[in-house]
Amino acid sequence: ASSHPFMRLFSGMNHQYTRREVFCRNTCHDLKRFWEREIGKQTYYRESEEHRLGRSALRKLREEWKQKLETKLRLRNNPEDAEKRTNVG
């Protein structure tokens, strides 16, 4: 038996498990850091895409057309409102 304190402590254990424990301790931190970075990148990309879409002219046009269609449907369903508007204006 070795006289080194570390070896005496683990002399009864299977060394394959101690190596895995050390390996996992080092790699688990690296894996956590890796995934935190990946999540950060994906969050940034998603937020920048949402921001880009918010400034999009196409989105504004769609909103305008939606309002126009809603107005036309409202006037079609309530013709009395259309007469009131033409008489007032």
Taking only the tens place, the pLDDT of each residue in 36-74 is: 999 999 999 999 998 888 787 888 888 899 999 999 999
List the alpha helices (DSSP H) in 1-89: 5-9, 15-54, 57-77, 79-88
Cα distances (angstroms) measured from residue 10 to each of 40, 50, 68, 83: 40, 55, 78, 93
User: For 2-39, what is each residue's pLDDT tens digit?
Assistant: 555 555 555 555 555 555 555 666 788 888 899 999 99
23/30 Cα distance (integer angstroms): 11
| N-terminal to C-terminal alpha carbon distance within the chain | 104
pTM for the model: 0.40
Structure-token pair, residue 71: 């107005």
